[in-house]
Amino acid sequence: MGEKKQFRGMIDLLTKPAFQKRALPLSVAAWHGLITKNLVPKRSELIRGMIVEKTPKSILHVKLVGRLLQLLQTWVGSTHWVRKEDPLTLTDSEPESDVSGHETDYVAHPATALLTVEVSVSTLEEDREMALIYAEAGVAEFWIVNVRQQAIEVYREPTPAGYIKVESIPLEGTVVCESLPGVRVAVRELFEGLVPGEQAERV
């Protein structure tokens, strides 16, 4: 218990601008060590060597993730591993997103994915920043479900400097996944029946 209080105190200290300038990034290996010792704050993830608190999920977020999971599982069947909010181990980050891959290929968390999806209810700018991290990791395709505009942003052709192709598919459009042939998501179908008021509810 004492170790956990000390760790929380360290996190508070690192929020101070003077200490942020002197802070050293946390490696993925060190992050895993903290997880093993049960010292990681609840609802947190490693982004660019920093421990970041995950935002609370609204009921709208939960419903959209559930719909996406069902759609992807329906399209890919047993040929790919569809994961819900599980870690993706990258060079200096370990975000928890929705990813696809062959389950039998892994004895540890995947280091890349054919498709990664982020549902953005109130974190659009942060999710757009994640595009560079996923591109660096070679994630073939990255989607942001943009709730604010009721659209799906699609990022393709990853390079170390970011994705080359970026487009936004509007409400009346359909996203045709290039990295998982046969996967199609009608944007209106994804959002249908969800009301704006649900965004304010927390679970």
The tens digit of pLDDT for each residue in 78-111 reads: 667 777 766 666 766 666 664 444 444 443 455 6
Contact indicator for 101, 114 with CB cutoff of 8 Å: yes
Measured CA to CA, the distance from residue 203 to residue 66 in angstroms comes to: 14
Cβ–Cβ under 8 Å, residues 76 and 183: yes
Higher-pLDDT residue of 105 and 164 is 164
* Calpha distance 126→120 (Å, rounded): 9
Residues 110-138, mean pLDDT to the nearest whole number = 86
State percent of the chain over pLDDT 90: 30
In 63-177, where do the E strands start and end?
81-87, 96-101, 115-120, 141-146, 151-159, 162-169, 174-176
Whole-prediction pTM: 0.70
What average pLDDT does range 65-75 have in this prediction? 85
Residue 9 φ then ψ, to 5° = -65, -35
Kindly state the DSSP code that residue 20 receives in the 8-state scheme. Answer: H
CATH topology assigned to domain 59-200: tt1808, chain A (3.90.1570)
Nearest alpha carbon to residue 115 among 171, 54, 59, 185: 185
Per-residue model confidence (pLDDT) at position 102: 44
- In the chain, domain spans: 2-53, 59-200
* Token pair of 30 as six digits: 């060190």
Of 172 and 41, the one with more pLDDT: 172
State the DSSP code for 19. H
Give the separation between CA 140 and CA 42, rounded to whole angstroms: 30
Mean per-residue pLDDT for 19-34?
67
- Output the pLDDT for position 7: 47
More confident residue, 67 or 26: 67
In angstroms, the CA 136 to CA 116 distance is 13
